[in-house]
């Protein structure tokens, strides 16, 4: 497959070993992978706009995944996001819901779950109003 | 919401249980004290009321019929009785004065004196077994040449008959084996070869509860027990019982205090469940992700042994990290023996900070540990000291998070305090305490939290004080609260601990003892030259 058509997963996690593992795993599964250790670093970078999704850890020291997502949205850089957390409780689920995450994952998750979430989110994006698969023109009648 | 309430209720139940035990122990102690006072009054009253009509009848009846030595009221036995009475008085005074720690030594000492004064061969104090199926030998004293007792000898194995009588609160005295009932032929046989030929056995009672027994045996030949003598022995038994009861109550109190410390630790642990699960899930997630990648690497037939190898290595590192977390938690929350040892403050604090790092992240509080320029060493129990730091840290996190300041923050610092002491301080920039609450903050059930029992600081104080230190509250000059406590320095740990003392003296002398400081400096210089 040509590299350009590979979807991109942009993962943000403050945990080094998780970044390392996710990068290897997702590359082997056929994705382009970008990893960041904090929201601040991601905000400074130019990101692909289509055929890409975010994989955001909720609890990070300086800026939470939820805040990062809100900042991106506010800056007009919409992108579907999967929220992930090692903490599974009402409070965290509430945060994720509030952030309008396209999918949620609780660590530890297996590859099947991870890939299913990524594919679902990418498909949604492609079918969405600005997506690749969106109808080019709408019939007036 | 429901979860929070359930959790709060569980805490409440746990604390309630601990407090129930606490009050039961208090009640027991009070009962022992009241028992001791009323018992000695009764005993004296009863001894006096025995009077002349009872004693002559019994002693004449027993004595003249068998015609044994010591029987009857001749001059020499009268003299002996007086000496024994004096001894009982002394015993009473000594036991009343003895601290709980001295009771054991006192009992051993007085057993020997009573055995000598009674002209018997062995005296034994028995304790009721935990399962209440009899007694075990606890203290004994025997004349040279007289057999002792193996430790924890079960009384029921020697004589179920005597054991049962004493358990019911009855006394037994026999002057010779011939007086034993026919039913106890086995006992008779045993005593004939091994045991005493005459014996007095009395229950040790606190209130109406038999907590043990007291026995005196004569191994060589028979011995008569005069009623007056038995009366005195009953008083001895009451004095011993009161002392042992006091000791038991104190042990129970200590046990309950330890339980409270452990219960408080467990309650803190339950508050940290979410962050502990979070901490453990991180390496597990990395592990699962690494293994997912590895499976793909091995199945795709794109053999990249180097990449597979590094993935396995990463997975191993993740597993070790998970195991490390479990080990750290076990270390922190085990309820084992209290071990006092030299401890370096830095690693000790860092371990606790690591434990609450996630919690502070969840609550968006910046948690900082101050620079420890020199290694500081304290002497104490690691788990208990960490529990103090943990309690104070959790309180500080609560206070900082609730205050809704733009940048909530908690600081942990440690420094040399006065010669021989290290001060640890946990401060927050939260709402602080009203002066009215601040004065009572170390008392039980005083809390500013809606879901707290107000036991954390009580336990913290009890731990600090058991280490010989002190704990205090002061308002944080930058807003919020500051809790400090001191622990003894562990001397001889590296050069630092030894060097530290003069340094600190020099600092305190800043407050106006200029001359002293100069002397210190001179001393320091002299030291260098030497």
CA A118 to chain B, closest CA, distance in angstroms equals 14
**The two three-digit tokens of residue B403, written as one number:** 């205050």
- Residue among A58, A119, A103 nearest B358 (CA): A58
Task: Give the whole-angstrom CA distance, residue B266 versus residue B276.
Answer: 13
Residue with tokens 């027991």, as numbered in its chain: B28
> Residues with Cβ < 8 Å from B429, sequence gap 6 or more?
B400, B403, B405, B407, B408, B409, B476, B478, B479, B480
What average pLDDT does the segment B362-368 reach? 92
Percent of chain B with pLDDT over 90: 45
Residues β-bridged to residue B298:
none
Residue pair B206/B31 in contact (Cβ under 8 Å)? The answer is yes
Please report the pLDDT score of residue B41 as a whole number: 43
B361 CB near a chain A CB, below 8 Å?
yes
Pairing of strands A52-57, A8-12: parallel
Residue B142, token pair as written in the block? 């025997």
Does the beta-carbon distance from A28 to B296 stay under 8 Å? yes
- Does residue A124 register a pLDDT over 70? yes
Q: With an 8 Å Cβ cutoff, is B61 touching chain A?
A: no
Give the position of tokens 């209130």: B207
Query: Closest approach of chain B CAs to the CA of A107, in angstroms?
Result: 5
β-pairing, B341-344 vs A8-12, is unpaired
Of residues B17 and B92, more confidence is placed in: B92
The set of residues, in sequence order, having a beta carbon less than 8 Å from that of B212 and lying 6+ positions away, is B125, B126, B127, B128, B135, B138, B203, B204, B241, B244
**B 243-282 → A contacts, CB under 8 A:** 274-275, 277-279, 281-282
Whether the CB of B319 is below 8 Å from some CB of chain A: the reply is: no
- pLDDT higher than 60, residue A76: yes
List all residues 6 or more positions away from B50 whose beta carbon is below 8 Å from its beta carbon: B227, B228, B231
Residue B74 has pLDDT above 70, yes or no: no
Q: Is B317 in Cβ contact with A107 (below 8 Å)? A: no
Count other Cβ atoms within 10 Å, centred on residue B108.
14
What burial class does residue A4 get, using C-beta atoms within 10 Å of its C-beta: 0-12 exposed, 13-18 middle, 19+ buried? exposed
Which of B245, B279, B281 lies closest to B356, judged by CA?
B279
- State how far Cα B9 lies from the chain centre: 28
Q: Do B282 and A18 touch (CB under 8 A)?
A: yes
Strand bridging mode A8-12 / A32-36: parallel
Tell me what pLDDT residue B78 has.
53
How does pLDDT run across B257-289, given as a tens digit for each residue? 888 888 888 888 888 888 899 999 999 999 999
Gap between the Cα atoms of B518 and B515, Å rounded = 5
Tell me whether residues A24 and B278 touch, CB distance under 8 A.
no
Buried b (16+ CB within 10 A) or exposed e, B118-155: bebbbbbbbbbeeeeebbbbbbbbbeeebeebeeebeb
pLDDT in the model for residue B433: 87
Q: What is the mean pLDDT of chain B?
A: 79
Sheet holding B122-128, edge to edge: B135-142, B122-128, B209-218, B198-206, B172-174
A41 CB neighbour count, 10 Å cutoff: 12
Chain A CA closest to residue B362: A59
Q: What are phi and psi of B257, to 5 degrees?
A: -65, -40
Of A15, A61, A88, the CB nearest to B282: A15
Checking if the pLDDT of B40 tops 60, the result is no
B448 vs A140: which has the higher pLDDT: B448
Contacts of B318 in chain A (CB under 8 A): 17, 21
Please judge whether A59 and B358 are an interchain contact, meaning their C-beta atoms are less than 8 angstroms apart.
Answer: yes
**HEC assignment per residue over A109-124:** CCHHHHHHHHHHHHHH
Our CA-based measurement puts residue B5 at a distance from the nearest CA of chain A, in whole angstroms, of 14
Strand, helix or coil for residue B430? coil
B305-333 vs B227-271: helix crossing angle, rounded to 10 = 140
Residue A21 has pLDDT above 90, yes or no: yes
Closest CA to B155 of B187, B179, B183: B187
User: Exposed, middle or buried: residue B52 (CB in 10 Å: 0-12, 13-18, 19+)?
Assistant: exposed
Q: What is the three-class DSSP state of B323? A: helix
Q: Which residues fall within 8 angstroms of residue A72, CB to CB, at 6 or more apart? A: A43, A54, A78, A79
- pLDDT of B43 > 50? The answer is no
Question: Band of the pLDDT at A140, cuts 50, 70, 90?
Answer: very low
- Nearest CA to B103 out of B248, B254, B258 is that of B248
User: Could you give the C-alpha distances from B322 to A21, A41, B302, B317, B329, in angstroms and in order?
Assistant: 15, 28, 30, 9, 11
Most confidently modeled range among B114-128, B145-159, B171-185, B329-343:
B114-128
Q: State the angle between helix axes of B382-403 and B227-271 in degrees (0 to 180), rounded to the nearest 10.
A: 50
Cβ distance B278 to A87 less than 8 Å, yes or no, reads yes
Total residue count of chain B as it appears in this document: 530
Q: State the best of A19, A28, A59, A114 to mutate against chain B, taking most chain B CBs within 10 Å.
A: A28
Low-confidence winner among B7-21, B57-71, B187-201, B207-221 (lowest mean pLDDT):
B57-71
Q: How far is A51 from chain B (nearest CA, A)?
A: 22
* pLDDT at position B253: 85
Q: Is the ipTM of this complex over 0.85?
A: yes
Model confidence band, residue B388 (pLDDT cutoffs 50, 70, 90): very high
pLDDT of residue B79: 59
Calculated CA dihedral for residues A21, A27, A28, A31, nearest 10 degrees: 130
Please answer yes or no on whether A86 and B318 come within 8 Å at the CB atom.
no
d(CA A20, CA B314): 9
State mean pLDDT over B319-330.
92
Specify the pLDDT at position A62: 87
The model's confidence at residue A4, banded by pLDDT at 50, 70 and 90, is low
Residues 6+ away with beta carbon under 8 Å from B363: B397, B400, B401, B408
Chain-chain contact of B281 with A89 (C-beta, under 8 angstroms): no
- A22 closest CB neighbour out of B283, B289, B296: B289
What is the nearest CA distance from B278 to chain A, expressed in angstroms?
5
Asked if the bond preceding A108 is cis, omega within 30° of 0, the reply is: yes
Residue of B nearest to A57 (CA): B282
Position B27 confidence tier, pLDDT thresholds 50, 70, 90: low
Task: Tell me which chain B residues have a C-beta less than 8 angstroms from the C-beta of A39.
Answer: none
A-chain residues near B408 (CB < 8 A)? none
pLDDT at B513 over 60: no
Query: Any CB–CB contact under 8 A between B204 and chain A?
Result: no
Which residue is closest to A109 within chain B, CA to CA?
B285
Q: Of A59, A89, A110, which is closest to B288 when you measure between CB atoms?
A: A110
| Residue B289 per-residue DSSP state | H
Query: CA of A114: which chain B residue's CA is closest?
Result: B289
Task: Select the residue from B286, B295, B356, B401 to test the A interface by mutation, using most A Cβ atoms within 10 A.
Answer: B286
Core vs surface per residue B441-480: b (16+ CB within 10 A) or e: bbebebbbeeebbbbbbbbbbbbbeebebebebeebeeeb
Whether the per-residue pLDDT at B197 is higher than 80: the answer is yes
Tell me which residue has tokens 């009473």: B92
Q: Does A59 sit within 8 Å of B296, measured CB to CB?
A: no
Residue A34 has pLDDT above 80, yes or no: yes
Query: pLDDT confidence of A141, banded at 50, 70, 90?
Result: very low
Residues in A closer than 8 angstroms to B285, CB to CB, are 18, 21, 86, 107-109
* Cα–Cα dist B30/B246, whole Å: 9
As a whole number of angstroms, the distance between CA B341 and CA B303 comes to 54
- The string over A110-132, giving b where at least 16 C-beta atoms fall within 10 Å of a residue's C-beta and e elsewhere, is ebeebbebbeebbeebbeeeeee
> Cβ separation of B300 and A28 shorter than 8 Å?
yes
Is the pLDDT score of B524 beyond 70?
no
Q: What part of A 100-129 touches B (C-beta under 8 Å)? A: 106-111, 114
Length of chain A as a residue count: 141
CA dist B400 and B406 (Å) reads: 10
């Amino acid at each position: 497959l040509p590299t350009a058509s590979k979807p991109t997963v942009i993962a943000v996690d403050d945990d080094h070993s998780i970044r390392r593992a996710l990068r290897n795993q997702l590359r082997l599964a056929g994705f382009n992978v970008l990893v960041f250790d904090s929201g601040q670093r991601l905000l400074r970078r130019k990101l692909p706009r289509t055929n890409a999704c975010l994989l955001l850890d909720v609890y990070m020291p300086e800026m939470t995944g939820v805040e990062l997502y809100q900042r991106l949205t506010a800056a007009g850089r919409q992108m579907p996001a999967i929220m992930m957390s090692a903490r599974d409780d009402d409070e965290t689920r509430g945060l994720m819901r509030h952030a309008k995450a396209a999918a949620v994952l609780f660590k530890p998750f297996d590859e099947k779950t991870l890939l299913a979430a990524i594919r679902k989110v990418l498909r949604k994006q492609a079918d969405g109003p600005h997506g690749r698969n969106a109808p080019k023109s709408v019939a007036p009648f | 919401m429901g979860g929070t309430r359930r959790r709060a209720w569980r805490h409440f139940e746990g604390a309630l249980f601990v407090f129930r035990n606490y009050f039961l122990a208090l009640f027991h102690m009070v009962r022992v004290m009241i028992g001791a006072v009323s018992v000695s009054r009764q005993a004296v009253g009863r001894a006096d009321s025995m009077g002349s009509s009872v004693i002559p009848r019994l002693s004449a009846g027993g004595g003249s019929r068998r015609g044994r030595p010591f029987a009857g009221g001749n001059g020499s036995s009268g003299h002996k009785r007086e000496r024994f009475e004096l001894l009982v008085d002394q015993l009473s005074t000594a036991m009343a004065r003895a601290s709980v720690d001295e009771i054991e030594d006192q009992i051993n000492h007085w057993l020997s004196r009573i055995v000598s004064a009674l002209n018997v061969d062995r005296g034994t104090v028995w304790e009721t077994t935990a399962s209440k199926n009899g007694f075990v030998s606890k203290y004994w004293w025997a004349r040279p040449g007289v057999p002792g007792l193996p430790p924890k000898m079960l009384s029921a194995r020697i004589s179920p008959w005597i054991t049962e009588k004493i358990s019911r609160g009855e006394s037994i005295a026999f002057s010779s084996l011939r007086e034993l009932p026919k039913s106890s032929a086995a006992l008779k046989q045993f005593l004939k070869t091994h045991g005493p030929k005459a014996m007095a056995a009395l229950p040790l009672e606190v209130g109406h509860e038999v907590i043990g027994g007291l026995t005196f045996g004569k191994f060589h030949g028979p011995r008569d027990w005069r009623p007056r003598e038995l009366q005195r022995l009953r008083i001895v038994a009451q004095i011993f019982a009161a002392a042992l009861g006091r000791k038991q109550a104190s042990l129970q109190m200590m046990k309950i205090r330890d339980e409270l410390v452990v219960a408080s630790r467990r309650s803190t642990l339950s508050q940290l469940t979410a962050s502990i699960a979070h901490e453990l899930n991180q390496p597990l997630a990395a592990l699962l992700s690494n293994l997912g990648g590895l499976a793909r690497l091995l199945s795709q037939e794109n053999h990249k042994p180097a990449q597979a190898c590094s993935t396995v290595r990463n997975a191993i590192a993740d597993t070790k990290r998970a195991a490390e977390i479990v080990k750290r938690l076990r270390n922190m929350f085990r309820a084992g023996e209290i071990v006092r040892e030299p401890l370096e403050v830095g690693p000790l604090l860092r371990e606790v900070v690591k434990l609450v790092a996630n919690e502070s992240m969840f609550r968006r509080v910046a948690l900082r540990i101050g620079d420890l320029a020199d290694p500081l060493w304290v002497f104490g129990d690691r788990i208990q000291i960490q529990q103090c730091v943990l309690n104070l840290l959790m309180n500080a996190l609560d206070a900082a998070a609730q205050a809704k300041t733009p940048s909530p923050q908690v600081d942990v610092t440690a420094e040399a305090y006065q010669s021989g002491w290290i001060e640890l301080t946990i401060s927050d920039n939260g709402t602080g305490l009203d002066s009215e609450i601040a004065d009572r903050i170390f008392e039980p059930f005083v809390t500013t939290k809606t879901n707290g029992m107000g036991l954390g600081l009580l336990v913290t104080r009890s731990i600090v004080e058991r280490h010989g230190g002190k704990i205090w509250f002061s308002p944080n000059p930058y807003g919020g609260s500051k809790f400090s406590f001191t622990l003894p320095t562990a001397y001889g740990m590296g050069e630092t601990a030894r060097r530290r003392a003069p340094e600190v003296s020099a600092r305190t002398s800043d407050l106006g003892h200029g001359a002293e400081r100069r002397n210190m400096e001179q001393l320091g210089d002299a030291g260098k030259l030497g």
